[in-house]
Structure 1
Amino acid sequence: MTQFVDECGLNVRGGDGGAGCVSFRREAHVAKGGPDGGDGGDGGSVWLAADHNAASLIAFKDHPHRRAGNGSHGQGKRRHGASGDDAVVQVPVGTTVRAQDGEVLADLAADGVRWLAAAGGQGGMGNTRFSTQQNRAPAFAEQGEAGEQRWLKLELKLLADVALIGFPNAGKSTLISRISAARPKIADYPFTTLEPNLGVVRTGDDFEMVVADIPGLIAGASDGRGLGHRFLRHTERARVMVVMVDLASVEEVPPAEQQRVLLDELGAYRPELLDRPRILVGSKADAGHLDPPPGALRVSAVTGAGITELTRAMADAVREARAYDSLGLPATRSDEVVIHRPVPEGFRVERSDDGAYVVVGRAAERTVALSDLNAPGAWEFARRRLERLGVNRALARAGIKSGDTARIGAFEFEYHDDDEYLSGEYLSEEASP
């Protein structure tokens, strides 16, 4: 069983916020003590953190669920609940996070960057917070907010200075085992390598570079043939391309034709890959009987011929790419992360299948998240807050009419065509989706 996983699903769930407390002072010699209910603690959040010590996504293959801690409930005597613990999930550097529909949400391209995957729910306010001159003994508090939950798709794109590109059985694995400490599986049949291999190459002047052995490409790889998309994905972040043509091809494919096919597939997958620094290598020079294309370095991983010249050429190309950052690669600062989708704010009005007008948005949903809207003063408080948020105007713009049903969170209300459009009792309390 392979120990390298470069794509997986991940279910993340933030912790639920604790509920606020309804409590009143009850002490000897204190008549009619005021409200003293504490707030609930916030739920913990789930963070994804890029870690250079993580090599693949195998940790999520059989255990895809990650959840943060819940906040504690508030208590009397103004005692606030403790916040839940965050869950920090380590993923390999180079992990791309996508939504279920394929939208890119974040790119964790440098060690140490973190991205908020699932926010924890806010804790509910205790009844102390709702005390006013008009209602000095509020008998209601807020429920805790549910933590965010969603499924994500994780894709790993290896971070390497050099990518070895070639047909199956072109000698890439043998070469990487010769120039680094990597020990990939090597055999004399195609597709020996079914997963990328990384090796650290050190030159005589102590220069270090990371080389990736990309599984063999074939014609049609850019269209997904032979798992082409999964293989090609790992070339995207490489600074330098080493294109290897087999001088001892069993199929007698001319090296120039091998080069053409490989470059065509790279260009069809990502045209910008053809702009990367490129080194052409003719492999298996010790046994080769085919003529290499012009400008190709002849090397033999078996005898060592040409290896020194190749590693020197690779090091020079990597030095130049690092110095000028000509590829526009993601920033390598440990405090930076590329986020592709803004955090939604405010609220919106939608129509449900049953014709109800649904107000969607955190602020509006929290407004009705009270422990008991039938409690004295609770509904009036919620109504005033919704009006200040502009929910009434938004519903009117959406075309709601008197007698229609409005839904906010788990509660349904009947709309009245007057200034107090949500006056009266709520119609029902539904199960949260």
Structure 2
Amino acid sequence: MSQFVDECGLNVRGGDGGAGCVSFRREAHVAKGGPDGGDGGDGGSVWLVADHNVASLIAFKDHPHRRADSGRHGQGKRRHGASGEDAIVRVPVGTTVKSQDGEPLADLAADGIRWLAAAGGQGGQGNTRFSTHQNRAPAFAEQGEAGEQRWLRLELKLLADVALIGFPNAGKSTLISRISAARPKIADYPFTTLEPNLGVVRTGDSTGDDFEMVVADIPGLIAGASDGRGLGHRFLRHTERARVMVVMVDLASVEEVSPSEQQRVLLGELGAYRPELLERPRVLVGSKADVGHLDPPPGALLVSAVTGAGLPELIRAMADAVREARAQESLGLRAKRSDDVVIHRPVPEGIRVERADDGAFVVVGRAAERTMALSDLDAPGAWDFARRRLERLGVDRALARAGIKSGDTARIGAFEFEYYDDDEYFSEEASP
């Protein structure tokens, strides 16, 4: 079974916040002790962290669920609940994160980058927090907020200096096995390689100028790969971060496809997938030179991975191209690609009102939704407190601007209210 997985689904859930406590001091010789309920602890969050020690997404293939710990409930004597532990989920460097709808959310392109995948719920406040001059003994507290939960789509784009591009059975696997310590499966039939292979190529000279570069053997591309043929999209995405493209044409093609036609198809597929790939430094190689019978394209380096002919020249050409690409990046001469950074999408602030299919006026806004989710509306005084908080948030004004009338249904989160155009704004009864 393959040990390399480059795409998977991941279900993440933040821990729930602990509930606040309703409690009153009970001490000898104290006739009416004040409130002393502690707050609930916050739920832990789920973080994705890029780790260079993780090679693939195989850990999520059969076990896609990750959950953080929930916060503890508050207790009497102002004892606050402990917060839940965060869940740290380590993924390979180069992992991209998308929503189920395909919206890009984050790109973990460097070791150590962290991204908040699911926020933990906020702990509820104990009744101590709600003591006022008008109500010195509040008999209600807040419930803990549920942690965020969602499905994500993870895709891995390998980080390599050089990508080997060629038709199936063009000799890429044999080449990478000769110039590095990689040991891919090698056979004389197409599509032997069904997953990318990485190899580290080291060079050096008498001056001690050692140089390393990472070379990726990309599974064979065919005509139509940019449209998904032959798992083309899965293969092509591993070329996106490569600094240098090595285009290999087979000089001994059994299908008798000319090397010039191979080059045209390969470059056409790269350009159709991502036009900017054609702007990367490129080395053209004619493989199987020891048995080749087809004419190489102009400018191609002729190599034989079997005999070793031409390999020193190829390694030198790749190293020179990688050095130049790295130098340009370090000097800022090459434009930074937008997918090299984490994408932050802030939570929208404020209050807005939408109309549901059933005609209800739906109040959307994290502050309003949290007010209702955290409130234990069955407790005496809790509804009045929540209503005043909603008024301060501007919920009543937003509903009025949306055209709500007395008797209409308003909805905030999981709660529905019958709206009245008076000083109360809502009925005294709420149903979940």
Q: Which stretches in structure 2 are left out of the alignment for 5+ residues?
A: none
* C-alpha contact 2:328 2:334 (8 A) present in aligned 1: no
* C-alpha contact 1:112 1:334 (8 A) present in aligned 2: no
- How far did 1:205 drift? 3.3
> What is the CA–CA distance in structure 1 between the aligned matches of 2:338 and 2:173, rounded to whole Å?
32
- How far did 1:345 drift? 2.4
Identity in percent: 91
> What is the CA–CA distance in structure 1 between the aligned matches of 2:431 and 2:247, rounded to whole Å?
56
> What is the CA–CA distance in structure 2 between the aligned matches of 1:430 and 1:253, rounded to whole Å?
77
* C-alpha contact 1:239 1:327 (8 A) present in aligned 2: no
* C-alpha contact 1:93 1:159 (8 A) present in aligned 2: yes
* C-alpha contact 2:184 2:197 (8 A) present in aligned 1: yes
TM-score, with structure 1 as normaliser: 0.94
> What is the CA–CA distance in structure 1 between the aligned matches of 2:315 and 2:306, rounded to whole Å?
15
> What is the CA–CA distance in structure 2 between the aligned matches of 1:351 and 1:153, rounded to whole Å?
30
Which stretch shifts more, 358-367 or 47-56?
Answer: 358-367
Give the one of 373, 376, 380 matched to 2:377.
373
Superposition pairs of residues 408-423 of structure 1, within 5 angstroms = 408-419=412-423
- How far did 1:331 drift? 11
* C-alpha contact 1:46 1:117 (8 A) present in aligned 2: yes
Hey, what does 1:13 align to over in structure 2?
13
- Alignment CA distance shift 1:329-1:15 (3 Å): farther
- Alignment CA distance shift 1:120-1:21 (3 Å): same
Hey, what does 2:231 align to over in structure 1?
227
- Alignment CA distance shift 1:235-1:429 (3 Å): farther
> What is the CA–CA distance in structure 2 between the aligned matches of 1:359 and 1:212, rounded to whole Å?
51
SS at match of 1:123: coil
* C-alpha contact 2:419 2:425 (8 A) present in aligned 1: no
* C-alpha contact 1:16 1:147 (8 A) present in aligned 2: yes
- How far did 1:376 drift? 3.1
> What is the CA–CA distance in structure 2 between the aligned matches of 1:271 and 1:199, rounded to whole Å?
26
- 1:361-419 CA-to-partner distances (Å, cap 9, x unmatched) read 22112222355324332222111110110111111122211011112223221111123
Which stretch shifts more, 330-339 or 266-275?
Answer: 330-339
Which stretch shifts more, 375-384 or 61-70?
Answer: 375-384
SS at match of 1:226: helix
Hey, what does 2:398 align to over in structure 1?
394
- Alignment CA distance shift 1:329-1:187 (3 Å): farther
* C-alpha contact 1:368 1:409 (8 A) present in aligned 2: yes
Hey, what does 1:140 align to over in structure 2?
140
Pairwise CA RMSD of aligned residues? 2.8
- How far did 1:347 drift? 3.2
- Alignment CA distance shift 1:200-1:150 (3 Å): same
- Alignment CA distance shift 1:174-1:336 (3 Å): closer
- Alignment CA distance shift 1:361-1:312 (3 Å): same
* C-alpha contact 2:70 2:84 (8 A) present in aligned 1: yes
* C-alpha contact 1:410 1:430 (8 A) present in aligned 2: no
- How far did 1:330 drift? 11
* C-alpha contact 1:115 1:337 (8 A) present in aligned 2: no
> What is the CA–CA distance in structure 2 between the aligned matches of 1:195 and 1:428, rounded to whole Å?
62
* C-alpha contact 1:127 1:138 (8 A) present in aligned 2: yes
- Alignment CA distance shift 1:346-1:179 (3 Å): same
- 1:270-306 CA-to-partner distances (Å, cap 9, x unmatched) read 0000000000000011111111111100001111111
> What is the CA–CA distance in structure 1 between the aligned matches of 2:77 and 2:335, rounded to whole Å?
50
Q: Does 1:217 align with 2:221?
A: yes
- 1:71-127 CA-to-partner distances (Å, cap 9, x unmatched) read 000000000000000001011111110001100000100000000000000000000
Hey, what does 1:77 align to over in structure 2?
77
SS at match of 1:73: coil
- How far did 1:346 drift? 2.7
* C-alpha contact 1:411 1:429 (8 A) present in aligned 2: no
SS at match of 1:369: helix
* C-alpha contact 1:410 1:431 (8 A) present in aligned 2: no
Hey, what does 1:336 align to over in structure 2?
340
Hey, what does 1:168 align to over in structure 2?
168
> What is the CA–CA distance in structure 2 between the aligned matches of 1:222 and 1:26, rounded to whole Å?
73
TM-score, with structure 2 as normaliser: 0.94
- 1:163-191 CA-to-partner distances (Å, cap 9, x unmatched) read 00000000000000000000000000000
* C-alpha contact 2:52 2:93 (8 A) present in aligned 1: yes
Hey, what does 2:296 align to over in structure 1?
292
- 1:241-291 CA-to-partner distances (Å, cap 9, x unmatched) read 000000111111110110001001100110000000000000011111111
- 1:319-373 CA-to-partner distances (Å, cap 9, x unmatched) read 1101111898999999995115333323332222322212222211222235532
- Alignment CA distance shift 1:428-1:320 (3 Å): farther
Q: Which stretches in structure 1 are left out of the alignment for 5+ residues?
A: 420-424
* C-alpha contact 1:281 1:298 (8 A) present in aligned 2: yes
